[in-house]
Amino acid sequence: MELSVLWFILVAILFVGFFFLEGFDYGVGILTPLLGRDDTERRSLLNTIGPVWDGNEVWMITAGGAMFAAFPNWYATLFSGFYLALFLLVAAIIVRGVAIEFRSKQDDPAWRGLWDWLFFAGSLVPALLWGVAMTDLLAGVPIDANMNYVGTFWNLVSPYAVLGGLLTLCVFTFHGAVFLTRKAPGALAERARRTAGRVGALAVAVFVLMIAFSLVKGVIFDKAGAGIVAVAAFLALIGAVRLVQKGKTGWAFVSSGLAVATLTLAYFADLFPRVMVSTLNPAWSLTVYNASSAPYTLKIMTVTALVMVPIVLAYQVWTYWVFRKRLTVDDLKY
């Protein structure tokens, strides 16, 4: 296997890990001001991801770093062409992190309410924009022969791309609701379970629209392998909804996580060997071959990844094991 292909697979795996872990983080943030009826309940919802949320975001940083080092042309075209959208994404992520840290700095209901809603916005915007970005990569954007993006911000927010954003928004929110059924205390867990059933049904409906729109446009999930993986994601999502409705929340979380992972894999499987599609001329699309670094650079990166990635994985598994238990009423005292 060529190293450029290997690194495309590794970038895909990093995004799978990021969306699986940060997906339920976003879902918790979106649901916090909606499920929490008072300050204590909202704080308890935040506590469910308190030990892990910042570690989950490391996957995004690692994926971005891997793109920069392994595919500099992809990174340059993506970050210059999607500049405003990525600025909004990063701004939302910053607001989200600040909200988590600042919320309890003052014993004032108005202060905490403000940060709870900023936490909501800082979770909703990335959950939406990630889907828009992934759909744009496949549907294509205006890229010229010199690998330069020549469109505007409005080329990135077509109805089709927005539908892709709504899909990830609904799926992540559902994933977060299922996560809360396993971590939130008492009545909050039951409230999250009922919410998960409703949000899950909405996610299935949006997924059906996405598939129908894709078949009409012939743009996304049109490769046989990618189509099979997309169908697997759809079935996993339906299974998760049914399981959570039956109260089998542990298996429901496994199934919702599988839906997130396979949906992400479907995007990358359909994209390969391209990394960005040009709507001006298919020959001008960026691929794993014309966008990659030199073989020596990829070789050095591969050795480094083989050493460091297992260490990072081991640490994160250990973190989740330590904080694996459900929160109790006593944990809410602060």
The backbone torsions φ and ψ at residue 166, rounded to the nearest 5 degrees and listed phi first, read: -65, -35
Model confidence, pTM = 0.93
Q: Considering only residues 54 and 178, tell me which one the structure prediction assigns the higher pLDDT.
A: 178
| Residue 329: pLDDT over 70 | no
At 149, is the secondary structure helix, strand, or coil? strand
Supply the mean pLDDT for the chain.
Answer: 91
The backbone torsions φ and ψ at residue 276, rounded to the nearest 5 degrees and listed phi first, read: -145, 135
Segment 51-108, tens digit of pLDDT = 888 888 889 999 999 999 999 999 999 999 999 999 999 999 999 999 999 998 888 8
The backbone torsions φ and ψ at residue 2, rounded to the nearest 5 degrees and listed phi first, read: -70, 145
Rg (CA), the chain: 20
- Lowest mean pLDDT segment, chosen from 209-223, 261-275, 313-327: 209-223
| CA-angle at 164, arms to 239 and 261, nearest 5° | 45
In Å, how far are 49, 67, 143, 179, 198 from 275, measured between CA atoms? 32, 10, 12, 32, 35
Q: Where are the domains of the chain?
A: 3-170+271-332
- Lowest mean pLDDT segment, chosen from 16-20, 27-31, 181-185: 181-185
